[in-house]
Each structure stands twice: as C-alpha cells, then as structure tokens.
Chains A and B, each alone.
Chain A
Amino acid sequence: MTEFRVGRGHDGPARIGEYIMGTEVFETPLLTGHSISNEKMLQYGTLGRDPSNSRPTIAALPFSMKFEDIDKAGLGDFDSVLLPSLISFSSLDDQTSVLTLRHQLDAVDEIKETVDPSRLIVRIPENIDIDDFKSYIDDFHSKGIRAAAFMFDGYLGSTDLDSIILRSNLPASWLALALGKIDPSTVPLLYYTGFDVIDTGYAYETAATGVRLWRNDSEHIETGKQQRICSCVHCESIAGAKHSDLIDILQNHNLDVYVSILSESVYAMKSGRLRWLVESMTHVSPNQASIQRQVDKQIYSFIEEFTPTTGADNVPLIGPESYNSPAVKRYRDLLEARYTPPEGKQIVLLLPCSAKKPYSDSKSHRRFLESIEGALGSASGRVAQVILTSPLGIVPRELERIFPAANYDIPVTGDWDAEETSLGAEALITYLNKLDPSCTVVAHVSGGYLGIVKAAESRVSQSIIYTTPEASATSWESRQALQETLVDLKRVLQLKDTPPRQLEEIVRATADFQFGTGAGNILVPKNAKLGGKPYRQIVCRIDKEQICSFIADTGLLSLTLGGAKLIAPLNRYWVRLDAPFVKGGSIFAVGIKEADLSIRPGDEVIVLNNQDEVIAVGRSEMSGREMCELKRGRAVSVRHKVEV
C-alpha cells in the first residue's frame, strides 16, 4: 500500500504531509527529478527505459507498453506509477481530454491486479472541462486512486493557470504533483496552491544549455565572461570548467536552488507568511504577477477555504497583490456580512490608521482618544470610532484587535490608488448604511483618507463634517479642530452621558464577526456581566456562569461549554461526531461524521455528538471540507468537553 497522509498546519491550501511508499516515507512537499543524489528527493523515470533503482520511484508507463509486460519491465514493489497518455493528444479539444482520462481508467482496470491502485497516479489532461474532471476524479477515487499529476509548460499562461484551477477541484486527500517546466520562482505559488510534489526537470534543462538558475532570475554562463558570485560548494570550480563538468556543476547548483526555495516556502507556511512570500515573488516577472492575480480571482474561494483564521503576528501587505489576499478580503467580506454597529451612537468619528497596531496603542490614537474624552467626557460612549485604512477598508474600534486588523503592516503614506480608494469607500458606505441616518459623521482625515470619504459621500444618508481637510489629522491644530467640533456637536446634539460600554461592544462585535450575526446578542445579553481589560482579557458571565472570554492577543473569543450551548442553535461552526463523547484532547478527522463547510483552520468550533448534543468546544486544525474528506489527521484541539 502506498499512502499520502496530510499533516498538521496550513497557510492557504499549502500543507505538509507524508508520502509513504512501502518502507520509505517521503515528507511532502517534495521535489522530484532524475537525480538520485539528493536523499530527500523522489526519483522518477520511465518503466523499461530508464535504469531502475532500489529506492521507490515514480515510474511513467509508456503509452505503447503492453500491460502484461509491466512486471518484467522491472517495476519496483513500491514504485508509484504514472498512468499512460499520448503526449499532446488532449490539446486537440475537450473530447480528446475526456478520452485521455477514459483510457487511463481502462488502464486501472487492466493493471489493478499487478499494481495496487493506491500506487497509481492519474495524468490530468489539458483542456478538460471542470465538470468532466470532477466526475472522472470521482471514478478514479472510487477505484482507490489518490494522486494526480498536472502539467506545467512554464509560460505561466493558460496551461499553467488551468492546471492550478483543476488542482483546486481535487479531493483534499489526494496527492497533487506538478510536472513539466517549473521555474524556481514559481515554487512558492505552486506550494501555496496545494501542490505536494514538484518537478525539478527544468534544473537539468537549463544546466544543459549553460544556464545557472537563481531564486528569481537566471544567468548564462559563458567562458571568459564575468559571472555572478555563488558561494555554494558546486560552484567553487566553475571558473574554467569544461563543458561536461560545467553541466554537472550547474545541475547541482540549480537543484539546490529548488531545495532552498521549497524549504523557504515550507518555513514561511509554518510561520503564516507563505502568502507574503508568494506576493513578493510576483515582482519576478509580469507573467508571474498576472498568474497570481488570476489565481486570486478565479480560485479565491479555494485559497480562502484553507487560509487560517489567525496568522502571523506581523502581516506585511505591500502591493496591489495584497488587496484581495484571502485574509484581507475575508475580513472585508465578514465585516460587511456580519458586523452590526453598537446601539446608541449619535456621532461616527472617522480616523486615519496608524502604523502601530492595535491602533489604540499608537501615539496618534492615544491623542485622538484624549481629544474625544476631553470634548465629551461621560458622553464619549455616544461616538462610534471607525478607522479608515487600506486594504482592509474600515476597522471599527471594537474590532481593532482581530486578525488581520491587529497585525497588518502597510507602507503608511496615505496615498491610496484608485482600487484602494474604492475598496475603502465601499466599506464605509456599507458601514454607514447600517447606522441611523440621523447620526453625524465627523471626518477627521486628510489626504488619501479624505479621498475615501469624498468618494463615499454621495452614497450615504448622514451629513459629514470635515474637521481638518487641509492638514494632517495628527497635528496639534487638527486635534484642536477635532476637539472643538466635538464640543460643538455635544451642545447641538444635546448628547447625554452614558455609562462606558466598551467591554460589551468589543465582545458583541467579536462574537458577530466570529460566529455570525446574532451571536453577539446571544452571548452578551442585557444581563451579562463583563470584567477584565480590552488589552488583556475580557470575561463574560451570565448568572455567574462563564460564557466566553475575549483574548486580546488573538482578538477572538473562546467559548465555554455553556457558551457553545447558547449559540449551537445558530447552526454554525459545528462538527458532528459519530460517538456519544469525546475521548482525549484531540478529535481526529476519522471520527468526524460531518462538519460545517464554513469552518477554517483556527476557528472556534462546537463539537456535537450523534444526538446533536454539545459535547465539546475547541480550535479547528483544518477546514471543514478536510474534516469531511480526510481519513486521518488532527481535526480539532479540544479545550473544554463534557466529562463522563
């Protein structure tokens, strides 16, 4: 039996795992190539044509090979087998692609006695229609196949994009291989989009033509010409090497480039910075940038589905490629769909973002808060504070500690481009439309932030007062102007004092954001008692029973069993087991009967038993789809459970 086991951890569809071939265990992501020099690489070759090896390899079956000859051709007991296809045949039309799959399906039946289906790898043809693809993958799945190879021609055009899009429709339990011409600079993107095995053939191809690859470009080595400095061991003897030696040197060097960029990608995945690495690679070439944009546009939901709810402490968002990164777009989408502003607000104060996060910790925001307090005193609670920023759009003060609002890092010049301005304006319009039209909007912003407000102005019903359109919002004069405006408004609007409700507002907003509209009112009803500090922990109790607590570090709520029972009727973020009780501290995918498909890695989830009773709460380790599709792996880390 050959088996692919998905391990723990995600950043986008990228994952780690193990490809088990007999007694050999290869850790994925994994590089594959002709070379056997590198222990950690999986070798491939063509059955009957390339020398066989004692270690397990990937063996390609030639189209012309008779199935009865497979055994004598020297197939190793644990070799995986690439099913046969005619090269280029599927490029003719979508029908020939279907035939390419059908032929492989026939082949499975022919050889399943000799080669266990778990060792087979389907070759995914070009041009295949998504629905045909899915239905054939189902057929292969039911025959026990769990691996698919996709072709890359290296142009980063439609062929490569199609392969990535098709891969996004593969069941989570399948191993995905990327074969063909793959430049090192594409490795992070392929890993990010869920490829587990990546071909290094291009390392040899370039070496054969005298090309030395680098992380994000390449260099032609010519004798007598000045070369770049490489400190790797292989390149020590490059000066004056003769042609055949040069090829060897370049092969080894080039392979190392793949090894190093893949390891960089894995490390980035583990620290929640893979998206950032992928974004940074878009500057390698225009093609690289455009395929990345297409990926974001066309398979956003796939990427988002595997993007954890929380991430790195510091999330750099640098260029336009960040505007629709999953963490960012998901924040905007959830805010629009789930967030309800607190009640009793008469003034909406629009503020610029600060470089330091959360905003309240910055010098500028501490001063804004002083100005509000100074002008309104005990009526300060009548003000809804909203921070304008890019590319998140807006951040209500209550949510400033949530991911990624508390973690993103942008070049804060305040010069937004047209897309950023429009993202900001849309978010602001949606927000203001949720508020009473009689509220007064105070725009304490200038420059690009002002542009956002102006772009929104004609589409909102509230009237807007500009405090400081000409000068920086943080200057002493501007803050004076803000304070005067608020003093005037207090008088004009006859603002009444109100007890501070900051804790309720934070917990309610977070609950809605995290569990969906309505959760806030359920978890923090009128009679709830809250205690603690917004910058540390807030505990919410009803009738002395602890319901949930807000953890400032993550900006998220942890539920108690009591809290979970309260929101279980919302029918969200549930995981249903086959068992009556939870045993141990983890729930594994194998024990899960069903799960809410909107669960993302890192979400707070409610565990139900086969009677639909709440039996535990915990943190998800994978997405809802994986909980349903995978047969192994830790799905939930349990925090509280019903003791038996």
Chain B
Amino acid sequence: MTDTLEQIQSAVKIASFKSRGRSVEKRRAKNPNKPSAAWTITSRIGTESGIALSIVLSTIGCAHARSDEGGCTMCSYLLDGSSRNPSSDELFNQFQDAMSKLDKESAPLAVKIYTSGSFLDTEEIPSDARNQILKAIADDDRIREVVLESRPEYVQDSIIAEVRAILDDRIIEIGMGLESSSDVVRSLCINKNFDLKSFREAVEIGKKHNVGTRAYVLLKPPFLTERDALLDAKQTVRDAIDAGVSTISLNPVNVQSSTLVEKLWKKQRFRPPWLWSVVEVLRYAHDAAKNSVNVVCDPAAAGKKRGTHNCGKCDTAFVSAIRQFSLTLDVHVFDDLTCDCQSLWEHTLKHEDVSLLVHR
C-alpha cells in the first residue's frame, strides 16, 4: 500500500472509533444469565427442512470493536453485549435459557451460536464454557447442524479438532466475516483488519476436520458506489467459492447505531444497497455455486430506510422472494420481480460512479 492509502486507512480507523462515541461505555450490565437474543425460524438443514435456533450470547463483545482499532465501519454488534464479561457458568445458563425454545421441537434441528464477537475467542468465551455448550449439543440427538461464528484468526487447528471431536458426526459450519475479498475494500471501507490469507487458512483448517465454512459477504460497505459494491460482492462470492467455503451468506449493509455508516447516512453520504443489487448478487452466487455451495441471505431491516430497500412499493415482494430463495435455493423466485424503480436503480449504478454523489 502507498503512504496515502495507509493514511486513508488510518483516517477510517479513527473515524470508525470516533463514531462509537460513548456508546460502548454506556452499555448496561445485562442479566448475565440471559442471552442477548434467541429466536427460531424454519430453515434448510442438510437436504431437509427443520427448525433452526439462533442464539446471541451476551458477552463483552468483539475485541476488534472494543479496541482503539475502532471495529468495523458498519457493525455495532458489540452494543448488544454486556459491559461485564459473564462467567463460564453464566454463559452456559444463557445457552440453556435459549435451548428451552426447542423443548417442543423434533428433529431435524439446527443451532446457530453467535456472540457479539467471536465464539472461538477464548477471551470472550472461555474454553470450558465453550466445551460445556458443545457437549450439551452433542448430547441432544435432534440437533443435526451447528453453526458457530468467529473471526478467522481464532479458527486454529487445535480448537477445530476439539470442536469436531465433541460434536462427532454433526454438520458443522464456522461462519466468518470475509466481507470482501479485496484487501483495499476490507481495510479502507470496512476496517476489518485481517487479510485474505488468514481466511483461506481458516477454510483449509475447516476442510481438514470436515468442518464447513460460511463466508459472510458484505454488500455495500461505505465509500463504495452502488456499482462498486455490486461488483465487489460478486467478486467476493467468486473468491469465497474458489477458496472452498460451504456456504455464502450475503449481508446487505444496514445502518446500525453508533457506527461510521450511521454517521455518513445521517449526512446523506450513504444509502443502504438496493434490493435490486441484492437479487443480482444472489443470482450470480447461485450460478457460481453450481449447487455445491449453499447461498443464503437474511437481510436485516430489509425494506426499511436503514436496511436494503427499493422504492417502497416493491420492497415486500423483493424481501419475501429473497427469503424464499434462502429456503429453497430456487433462483426462479426472482423471475417475476418487476417495478418501475428498476430504471432509477440502473441510473444510480451509472451516475454514482461518474458523479460520486450518493443517490438516495
């Protein structure tokens, strides 16, 4: 990187840090025995359909976001976390509290464990708590699939070996926020400080232990035009598939509080991606995946001002088609989507590139 690019990167870092303001200090101490959130949805599990439980454990939050690195420009997950790090027992209580939602359900089930950071980071989740949780899952025969989330640097051989050993023959997938395969985009636009190499290594470690990997692909970080973002997401999908991931999860940026994205959005200098763009990336991903890689998308705040949206008239149809696609991988659900706003989106793709004026 040139000097100037390095300075641009450090300016983004500082701006991202500043955007957090006092939000991190002002986090409240939450009930350490309750998860931040837990919900169930119908989902694809292997080739069948079943119930998936998502658990967001309340932890101290992502180390990257807590540090003076400023965290990622679009992410405020750490605000869901707690100002005090829960003990191992408390973490296990959170897990059990959430698991009670599955009491009446029958196989096949899936469990997805998120934290406001990395499940495999021992500073967030001590290894005894992690193993206790994984063992509880291993003891439940209904559960066929487990998804964990972590930054790639915590995906280490020894840890993955342990996870595989405990969970036995279940489908395991580790979700990692690749966001973009472009180093420039990842460092300048997202401020996510790991390189593509460490992501590729993590995928390899997973493969070695028959653990799948899920690449979170970000659509439209700040400082990109709509078309920059669209092309970057497609390229990232391509690169993630080439790296050998088992699932692509497309995340259109939504405007979260106390982030750099929010600051820009309030100044009219950011617009979340169009649903047209989301659909185009999903079509592309479906094509590139050739049915051997899973493609999912569960956009936050979709159809709202802070989330991916179109003109307002067609948003509901788009969002439900996207959900349908995630469930069925049937790309034809997009065939009937039409709206007058398509021309405005197409204009935006062309004109933002030339004018560098954010089109809202």
Contact = CB atoms under 8 A, between A and B. Distances in A.
Interface of A: 34, 44-46, 49-50, 58, 60, 62-64, 82, 85-89, 91-93, 95-96, 99, 102-103, 106, 123, 151-153, 179-181, 199, 201, 204-205, 207-210, 243, 247
B136 interface: no
Interface string B345-358: 01100111111111
B37 interface: no
B310 to A, nearest CB: 12
Contact of B350 (A46, A85, A179, A243): A46
A94 to B, nearest CB: 11
Contact of A89 (B8, B185, B357): B8
B264 interface: yes
A215 B29 CA distance: 59
Given A46-B227, A180-B357, A88 B350 contact: no
B340 A243 contact: yes
A60 B223 contact: no
Nearest to B229: A87
Report, nearest first, the 4 A-B pairs whose CB atoms are least far apart.
A88-B269, A208-B343, A180-B357, A86-B223
A204 B359 CA distance: 13
B204 interface: no
B269 A205 contact: no
Contacts of A44: 354
B357 A152 contact: yes
Interface in B1-56: 2, 4-5, 7-8, 11-12, 15
B356 A99 contact: no
Nearest to B270: A88
Contacts of B354: 44-46, 58, 60, 82, 179, 199, 201
Interface in B237-269: 264, 267-269
A150 B46 CA distance: 54
A106 B5 CA distance: 10
A49 B353 contact: yes
Contacts of A99: 4, 7-8, 11
B350 A34 contact: yes
A247 B357 CA distance: 22
A88 B228 contact: no
13 contacts: A60-B354, A63-B184, A64-B184, A64-B232, A86-B8, A87-B225, A103-B5, A106-B4, A153-B357, A179-B355, A181-B355, A208-B343, A209-B340
Nearest to B11: A96
B224 interface: yes
Q: What's the dominant secondary structure at chain B's contact region?
A: helix
Contacts of B359: 205
B273 to A, nearest CB: 13
A92 B222 CA distance: 12
B188 interface: yes
B2 A89 contact: no
A46 B267 contact: no
A87 B268 contact: no
A224 B294 CA distance: 47
A92 B11 CA distance: 9
Nearest to B268: A153
Given A87-B223, A87-B358, A180-B355, A64 B228 contact: yes
Given A86-B8, A99-B8, A103-B5, A208 B356 contact: no
A247 B343 CA distance: 8
Nearest to A85: B356
A50 B350 contact: yes
Given A87-B223, A87-B352, A152-B357, A204 B347 contact: yes
Contacts of B7: 99, 102
Nearest to B344: A208
A86 B347 contact: no
B353 A95 contact: no
B182 interface: yes
Contact of B264 (A91, A207, A210): A91
Given A82-B354, A204-B347, 18 more contacts: A46-B353, A50-B350, A60-B354, A85-B356, A87-B269, A87-B358, A99-B11, A103-B4, A103-B8, A123-B356, A151-B356, A153-B357, A179-B357, A199-B354, A201-B355, A205-B351, A208-B347, A209-B344
A95 B344 contact: no
A91 B5 CA distance: 17
Given A50-B350, A243-B340, A91 B267 contact: yes
A420 B188 CA distance: 55
Contacts of A63: 184, 224, 228
A14 B231 CA distance: 40
Contacts of B182: 64
A64 B354 CA distance: 14
A199 B355 contact: yes
Contacts of B225: 87
B8 A181 contact: no
A123 B225 CA distance: 15
Interface string B305-330: 00000000000000000000000000
A184 to B, nearest CB: 16
A34 B5 CA distance: 31
Contacts of A209: 340, 344
Given A63-B228, A106-B4, A205-B344, A89 B350 contact: no
